[in-house]
Amino acid sequence: MTKSKKIILSVVVGTVLTVLAFYFTLPAINIHDESFWIFLTFVIAFYSFPFLFIRNEGGSGSARGGVSGAHGFKSFKISKLPIILIIAPVAILIVGGFLSSELFNAKKYASVIDVQEAVFEEDMKETDEVTNIALMDSESAKIIGNRTLGSLSDVVSQYEISDSYTQINYKGTPKKVANLEYADFFKWVSNRDSGVPGYVMVDPVNNSAEYIKLDKPLRYVNSGYFNDNLIRKLRFSYPTKIFDYISYEIDENGDPYYIVSCLDANVMLFGAMDVKEVIIFDPCTGESQLYEVGDVPAWVDIVFSGDLATEKYNWKGMLSGGFFNSIIGQKNCRQTTDDYGFIVIEDDVWYFTGVTSITSDESNIGFITTNARTGEYKYYPVVGAEEYSAMKSAEGQVQEKRYEASFPSLINVSGQATYIMVLKDSGGLVRLYALVNVENYSIVATGETQAQAMVEYKRLLASNGIVQEDPEPEEEFAESTFTVLSVRDVVIDRNSFVYIEGNDGVIYKGSISDNESLIFIGAGDRLKAEYSDTDIANIRKIESFTFVEAAG
């Protein structure tokens, strides 16, 4: 092949393969992205392949690597220049990664964040009622969300809910949101013209969910194919940005957006990657806007992922004394526990996680909170049980039921740092609420509602001499008079309950073990009942009742 033919072949084949590789792998064209150097290696190989082998004509039959022909032997040898060009980006990747590592840059990693020490009692307002705290984890949100979607026959057959629920603060209340996705490739083919119709919003306080149908459907989602794919649309709009965490959120008007965090290196080529910019992307129109981290609108909740937030603290906690100290001496080394929870403070979502010394496995020396939008860190020197020990303590309180505790949230009760969590059954449904004292995790209170658990927890604090007991107020119940439309008996965990539907549109719940006279109630009876509210809207707990008029 002549040199000109090789050049033409190189350009044609190299360009076709490069375009296809970029279209399907979507690397950032950025020297700080490791995947870019891998992509560049293949691009050089695509263009260099026609020049990889050089032919030598002539020679004898003993020529090595010869290929016989009509007029003797044609031997080939590998050209050095293409090999050098192919190896070069690989060498940059390896050497750059090595020089960017913590081994050579421990102090720089440790200085990526500043952590302000704060007073727990001052920053965390004392909690009297806990009905506004989001305790639901993503797995429970999926169960409730799928039930809601399952009731919509025209939607459930074509779409499914994204696995990625985002914790947000919506109009002052905690919510979890997730958009719908195409169920598979063929569902995308049949529905791509109409798009994705809406999203699911879960109330993690009331254990309820609702499907929100959008006036304008989503066009770009993760499950879209070809040019309808979210990542592909973002990459074509921002070819040089290194995408990190992408969260689905809604603004205060309920309009959907993807919040896309963009990384850059703080150390050499690849070291100490952190969020520097944020893309706010409208999945309905494909329009977007790029912001510096400090300029992100206040309605946005998640810019820094919880994983990145804890990793950055671990850089500071482990590497402040140098790399070798983090391996050998480990003097003053500290790290976060294995997971993190969410706290809503004013209008922002914060992560919280315990901090433990490197040699400790069951106790915390404090906590950190991280603002998920601004990246601000605060450290609280509160010594106590780490989260998983508290979870085990709560599970042990009702061990016969074999409930599983979710990762807790952190609140201030009577000046005491307190874990609050839910206990779920094997089906993932919330059965009980639990409060555990951080400093003394043998103090555990449980209840069917958050309010009940809080009352019991305060009683335990007083009985253990931790706080002074307040005079217990006489409990007052609301009254209602209604006609019974239907009665249903239900057994939950071997306990019998009666659910009474009233003509006032409310369901009244009563425990037969507490009041056996409930079994005499029938449809048509008119009752006067004293009741208390439950955590579930439209369900009330009967405390006492009298017959106003019996049916028949």
CA nearest neighbour of 379 among 396, 371, 367 = 367
Residue type, 492: I
pLDDT of residue 115: 96
189-203: per-residue pLDDT in tens? 999 999 999 999 998
Average pLDDT, stretch 136-154? Answer: 81
pLDDT of residue 150: 82
Q: What is the CATH number of domain 478-549?
A: 2.40.50.140
Q: How far apart, in whole angstroms, are the C-alpha atoms of residue 133 and residue 288? A: 32
Average pLDDT, stretch 42-48? Answer: 93
The mean of the pLDDT values for the chain is: 89
Q: How far apart, in whole angstroms, are the C-alpha atoms of residue 529 and residue 86? A: 82
Q: How far apart, in whole angstroms, are the C-alpha atoms of residue 384 and residue 343? A: 19
CA nearest neighbour of 284 among 350, 332, 213, 344 = 213
* Whether residue 68 has pLDDT greater than 50: no
In this prediction, residue 248 has a pLDDT band, given cuts at 50, 70 and 90, of very high
Tokens of 159: 């779409």
Q: Which residues pair with 354 in a beta bridge?
A: 367
At residue 116's C-alpha, the angle toward residues 170 and 298, to 5°, is: 25
Tokens of 326: 């983090």
Q: How far apart, in whole angstroms, are the C-alpha atoms of residue 341 and residue 201? A: 19
Which residue, chain included where needed, has tokens 């959120």? Answer: 249
In this prediction, residue 475 has a pLDDT band, given cuts at 50, 70 and 90, of low
Average pLDDT, stretch 172-190? Answer: 94
In this prediction, residue 99 has a pLDDT band, given cuts at 50, 70 and 90, of very high
pLDDT of residue 172: 83
Regarding predicted confidence, which is higher, 74 or 546? 546
Other CB atoms closer than 10 Å to residue 409's CB: what's the count? 21
* DSSP states of 12-55: HHHHHHHHHHHHHH---S-TT-HHHHHHHHHHHHHHHGGGSEEE
Q: How far apart, in whole angstroms, are the C-alpha atoms of residue 205 and residue 177? A: 14
Q: How far apart, in whole angstroms, are the C-alpha atoms of residue 202 and residue 472? A: 35
Q: How far apart, in whole angstroms, are the C-alpha atoms of residue 77 and residue 55? A: 7
Q: Which residues contact 455 (CB under 8 A, 6 or more apart)?
A: 447
* Whether residue 66 has pLDDT greater than 60: no
CA nearest neighbour of 375 among 306, 320, 326 = 306
204-241: per-residue pLDDT in tens? 877 788 999 999 999 999 999 999 999 999 999 999 99
Q: Where are the beta strands (DSSP E) in 384-518?
A: 384-385, 404-405, 409-413, 416-424, 430-437, 444-447, 478-492, 495-502, 507-511
Tokens of 468: 């002074």
Q: Where are the beta strands (DSSP E) in 134-269?
A: 159-161, 166-170, 173-182, 196-203, 208-218, 242-250, 256-264
Average pLDDT, stretch 339-357? Answer: 89
Tokens of 61: 């039959």
Phi, psi of 39 (to 5 degrees): -60, -45
CA nearest neighbour of 409 among 391, 396, 428 = 391
Average pLDDT, stretch 171-190? Answer: 93
Q: Which letter does DSSP use for residue 267 in this model?
A: B
CA nearest neighbour of 272 among 260, 280, 263 = 263
- The domain spans of the chain are 3-99, 138-303, 307-382, 387-463, 478-549
Q: Which residues contact 392 (CB under 8 A, 6 or more apart)?
A: 405
Residue ranges of alpha helices (H) inside 403-533 are 450-463
In this prediction, residue 67 has a pLDDT band, given cuts at 50, 70 and 90, of very low
CA nearest neighbour of 410 among 401, 402, 419 = 419
**Residue 276 CB-density burial (10 A; 0-12 exposed, 13-18 middle, 19+ buried):** middle
CA nearest neighbour of 443 among 476, 507, 396, 495 = 396
Tokens of 330: 């480990």
pTM reported for the whole predicted model: 0.81
pLDDT of residue 142: 83
Q: Which letter does DSSP use for residue 101 in this model?
A: S
Tokens of 220: 């770009």
Q: How far apart, in whole angstroms, are the C-alpha atoms of residue 542 and residue 552? A: 23
Q: How far apart, in whole angstroms, are the C-alpha atoms of residue 223 and residue 404? A: 32
Q: How far apart, in whole angstroms, are the C-alpha atoms of residue 399 and residue 392? A: 10
Q: How far apart, in whole angstroms, are the C-alpha atoms of residue 376 and residue 313? A: 11
Q: How far apart, in whole angstroms, are the C-alpha atoms of residue 402 and residue 397? A: 10
Contact 410, 352 (CB under 8 A): yes
Q: How far apart, in whole angstroms, are the C-alpha atoms of residue 73 and residue 27? A: 44
Q: How far apart, in whole angstroms, are the C-alpha atoms of residue 385 and residue 363? A: 4
Average pLDDT, stretch 90-114? Answer: 97
Which residue, chain included where needed, has tokens 């200085």? Answer: 111
In this prediction, residue 70 has a pLDDT band, given cuts at 50, 70 and 90, of very low
